[in-house]
Every structure is written in structure tokens, then in C-alpha cells.
Amino acid sequence: MVSSNDFKNGMTILYEGKIYKIMEFMHVKPGKGGAFVRTKLRDLRSGTIVDITFNAAEKVEKAVIDKVEMQYLYDTGDALVFMDNITYEQIELPYVLVEYEKQFLRENQNVNIEKYGSEIIGILLPDKVTLKVTECDPAQKGAASSNQMKDAVLETGMQVRVPLFIEPGEEIIISTDSGKYSSRA
């Protein structure tokens, strides 16, 4: 059990049968009445964000999320297949669970799978990934100093906006938080 006074960003809690990750929290001490903690929580099963207010020193159960390193093997058409690097056990994660993350994954890439007990919660992506550009307009002369962008298609099928000097076949770094171009690899 953890007290609402001890909340930290990124902490996971079990509240009313749901697993939440604390996105933001704020201790409030009004002039009248008791103190309370206002939080913004993300449901790890559904991905929805909710605002919940806790009384000061209210106890909630801390959820222990395990991270297991697994290798992404292939796409079956409606699920992604991963293999545990230690036991070689294979699991399938349906698109619904990994809809956003699948655009950053390429075959044989190692990622951390988040589990609560035996239930798989999702994939923990690195902050940035390196992907190869498969399609885009050819580079334009003198475009290095320009802030203009063009569309590009990456090896995973993801579409991003890249600077005009990027050519097909180049590897670029993409931020997994925003899904935007960061730099050349």
C-alpha cells in the first residue's frame, strides 16, 4: 500500500480494479477543509486518461509492473509475435493492444513488454528509434538551410515529415513520443 502523499509521476497503482500510471499529481491544501491530492491517471489497459481526486494520506495498492525483454519476430496480419529472449516462449499481441507501437517496430528488434502478473499491459518503447526511409521525393539542391519539410514513408509503413535533404535509403531517428523526425542516424 502507498499513501496518496507519496505519489510520484510514473508510479503505477491499482485503484477500483484498474491499473493506472500517474501522469501528474498536485497536493492541494485549501483554506477550509482537509487537504487532498488531485491526479491525472492513465489506464494501462485501455489507454484512457482520467482525473481522480484522493483524500490526503488515502491508501491505495501499488501495482508492480514487470518488464520482460522480448524480440519482435513478425506480423501475422492481426497480431504481432514476440519471443522471450530467455525461455524462447512466443506470444501474440493483438493490434488493439499495440496499435501505436507497431509503427516503430522492425523485425528482430528487442523491446520491453510490460506485465502485471501474467497479464500483458503493453510495449515499452525506447525514446527514439532508427528507421530507414523507403520512399520520398529526391533531395533538393540547397535544401540544407531550409526549414521546409516533405513526406516520407519508412520501412515500417509509417509516414513522417522530413527535411528536404533526406533521401530514400537513409536511416533517420524518430521520436516515439511524438512520432516525428528527430535527426539523421
Judgement on whether residues 137 and 95 belong to the same structural domain of the protein: no
Tens of pLDDT, residues 77-121 = 888 999 998 999 999 988 888 888 888 888 888 999 988 888 888
Q: Give the CATH number for residue 23.
A: 2.30.30.30
Tens of pLDDT, residues 134-154 = 998 876 666 555 678 888 999
Domain count, the chain: 3
Q: Give the CATH number for residue 166.
A: 2.40.50.140
Judgement on whether residues 93 and 140 belong to the same structural domain of the protein: no
Domain carrying residue 96: 66-124
Residue in the block written with cell 501505436: 100
Residue that is last in its domain, among 124, 156, 173: 124
Report the C-alpha gap between 173 and 32 in whole angstroms: 51
Task: List beta partners, residue 147.
Answer: none
Judgement on whether residues 6 and 58 belong to the same structural domain of the protein: yes
Give the type of residue at 38: R
Judgement on whether residues 113 and 135 belong to the same structural domain of the protein: no
Q: How distant, in Å, are the alpha carbons of 35, 49, 62, 83 from that of 14? A: 22, 15, 6, 28
Judgement on whether residues 24 and 52 belong to the same structural domain of the protein: yes
Residue that is last in its domain, among 26, 47, 62: 62
Report the C-alpha gap between 167 and 160 in whole angstroms: 13
Can you give the pLDDT at residue 145?
Answer: 56
Can you give the pLDDT at residue 25?
Answer: 92
Tens of pLDDT, residues 1-10 = 899 888 998 8
Residue that is last in its domain, among 62, 84, 102: 62
